[in-house]
């Protein structure tokens, strides 16, 4: 049985996002992932808590979650049966000091690195619980038809990125308020961001990002990058870690 209804798939296509209010993993599996995150947080060294990018490159235990049926059954409903793993990221915003995430499109940071950007999906799993008070993700619905907007510089000491999209109508923004274990999904081209965490509670998510295996990853534009064939077959001639 599909993990998403036809109505949910249609809504994702129209709006560029979906909030999945069911528990993604069993309680035991969720607790295991949370414990792994705690290890990464303790070992982060000089990195900020929101800079734990591609942790699965260093910790193969995370592949048990990234390549899990619980995740891929949902992603398949949106991009089809041939799925590749593009990236993952622990992004944790500390109480009171967690930086804002400026309005951006994920695709803008991958420009030139892939052959297409129209079916890249990010699943954002809430580890702590995410709401307006602690800086939940926000999206501008329906802005997933471009992916390469104009940006202006911002102060990176208080923002997770160095630039942002301006002239955003924030009255249209949808807040992704999630309980621990719930997740959201968004198109890689949609405009999204998050306010700073000014609350006494941490806000942590694990992003899991996938693309159809019909998309080609240009090796010369991705030195040292590693991708996995998550499900199905390769359609573009990519080189995978698990080939």
Averaged pLDDT for residues 110-132: 97
The pLDDT tens digits for 184-231 are 999 999 999 999 999 999 999 999 999 999 999 999 999 999 999 999
Show me where the domains of the chain are located: 6-231
- As a whole number, mean pLDDT of residues 101-116 equals 96
The Cα 110–Cα 130 span in angstroms is 26
Has residue 150 got a pLDDT over 90? yes
pLDDT at 51: 78
Residues 6+ apart with CB under 8 A from 153: 162, 163
Q: Architecture of 6-231 per CATH? A: Sandwich (2.60)
Mean pLDDT of 129-137: 96
């Amino acid at each position: 049985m599909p993990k998403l209804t036809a109505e949910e798939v249609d809504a994702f296509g129209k709006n560029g996002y979906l909030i999945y209010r069911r528990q993604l993993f069993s309680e035991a599996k969720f607790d295991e992932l949370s414990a792994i995150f705690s290890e990464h947080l303790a070992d982060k060294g000089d990195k900020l808590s929101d800079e734990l990018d591609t942790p699965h490159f260093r910790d193969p235990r995370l592949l048990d979650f990234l390549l899990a049926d619980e995740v891929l059954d949902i992603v398949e409903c949106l991009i089809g049966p041939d799925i590749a793993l593009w990236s993952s990221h622990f992004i944790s915003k500390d109480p009171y000091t967690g930086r804002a995430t400026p309005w951006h499109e994920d695709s803008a940071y991958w420009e030139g690195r892939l052959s297409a950007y129209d079916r890249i999906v990010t699943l954002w799993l809430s580890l702590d619980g995410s709401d307006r008070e602690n800086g939940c993700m926000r999206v501008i619905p329906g802005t997933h038809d471009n992916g390469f907007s104009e940006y202006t510089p911002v102060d990176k000491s208080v923002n997770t990125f160095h630039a942002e999209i301006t002239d955003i109508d924030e009255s249209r923004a949808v807040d992704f308020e999630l309980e621990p274990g719930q997740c959201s999904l968004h198109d890689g081209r949609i405009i999204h961001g998050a306010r700073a965490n000014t609350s006494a509670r941490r806000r942590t998510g694990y992003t899991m990002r996938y693309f159809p295996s019909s998309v080609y990853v240009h090796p010369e534009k991705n030195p040292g990058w590693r991708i996995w064939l998550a499900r199905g077959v390769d359609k573009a001639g990519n080189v995978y870690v698990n080939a």
